[in-house]
Amino acid sequence: MSNTGTLYLIPTTLGKTSGNNTLPEYTLEILRKLDVLVVENIQTTSRFLQWVGDTIPEYEIDFYQLNKRTPDHEVFSFLKPLKKGKDVGLLSEAGAPAVADPGSTLVRMAHQNNIRVMPLTGPSSILLALMASGFNGQQFAFHGYLPIDQKKRKQMIIQLEGASKRHNRTQIFMETPHRNNALLKDLLKTCNPASWLCTATDITLPNEQIISKQISDWHTTRKPDLQKRPTIFILYGH
């Protein structure tokens, strides 16, 4: 039997809520027992731990910070407590760790070193949005962020729409919240009227808003204000 610890992949809530409607008690109980955590932002994690309650006191927790700028040699050093038999939790800023998140590097290294990896249940904005869109859930792709440059962004939209139509593939992507309205505007200007677009905003939160309809219908109805509201965009080409 291995003497190494387990790397737990611990989802977090998708935003501030007073009650808990997304995280199973089993996931929270494991988190409450961990005193080594790998996180993207320590302050955000601190607020989340306060929300969870009954965790090990923060001054007794060893925090390791992992973001997109963390070099591989430093990520590799995060395996040390695992190799000594300590269990470690990997947390994302919001939702599922290692999905649209820099944590995948640590997960891969854990596998390479024969360390047990255990994903725990919790919300994923990407999958929840796909479920609610009504689009093809058998063939889909997540593309992360589209280019910031408007010309390149429109070219990417055209490519994604064309590939969706040819392969019957649902295309999923996101944007920095303060640029959501600009992306929505470009999508409506660029896409075929027969194509479908879904915006899934503030998923699982009190102000959740999911709109899914053809581009032609988007043009004739009032547009949602997505400014600074976490949103998943889903395109289904026709």
In a structure prediction context, what are the per-residue pLDDT tens digits for the chain, which is 238 residues long? 468 999 999 999 999 888 999 999 999 999 999 999 999 999 999 999 999 999 999 999 999 999 999 999 999 999 999 999 999 999 999 999 999 888 999 999 999 999 999 999 999 999 999 999 999 999 999 999 999 999 999 999 999 999 999 999 999 999 999 999 999 999 999 999 999 999 999 999 999 999 999 999 999 999 999 999 999 999 999 9
The pLDDT score that the predictor gives to residue 218 is 98
Q: How many Cβ atoms sit within 10 Å of the Cβ of residue 91?
A: 26
Q: What is the distance between the alpha carbons of residues 1 and 12, in angstroms, rounded to a whole number?
A: 31
* Chain position carrying tokens 């977090």: 12
At 163, the amino acid letter reads A
Q: Which of 163, 141, 153 is nearest to 189 (CA)?
A: 153
For the domain spanning 125-236, the CATH number is 3.30.950.10
State pTM to two decimals: 0.93
Tokens for 18, please give them: 């007073």
CATH 3.40.1010.10 corresponds to the domain 6-119 = yes
Q: How many Cβ atoms sit within 10 Å of the Cβ of residue 10?
A: 28
Tokens for 92, please give them: 């994302």
Q: What is the DSSP string of the chain?
A: -----EEEEE-B-SS--SS-SSS-HHHHHHHHT-SEEEES-HHHHHHHHHHH-SPPPGGGPEEEE--TT--HHHHHHTTHHHHTT--EEEE-SSBSTTSSSTTHHHHHHHHHTT-EEEE-----HHHHHHHHH-S-SSSEEEEEEPPSSHHHHHHHHHHHHHHHHHHT-EEEEE--GGGHHHHHHHHHHHS-TTSEEEEEESTTSTT-EEEEEEHHHHHTSPPP--TTS-EEEEEE--
The pLDDT score that the predictor gives to residue 16 is 86
pLDDT by residue (tens digit) across 102-133? Answer: 899 999 999 999 999 999 999 999 999 999 99
The C-alpha angle 190, 195, 198, rounded to 5 degrees, equals 90
Name the residue ranges covered by the structural domains of the chain: 6-119, 125-236
Q: What is the distance between the alpha carbons of residues 82 and 97, in angstroms, rounded to a whole number?
A: 18
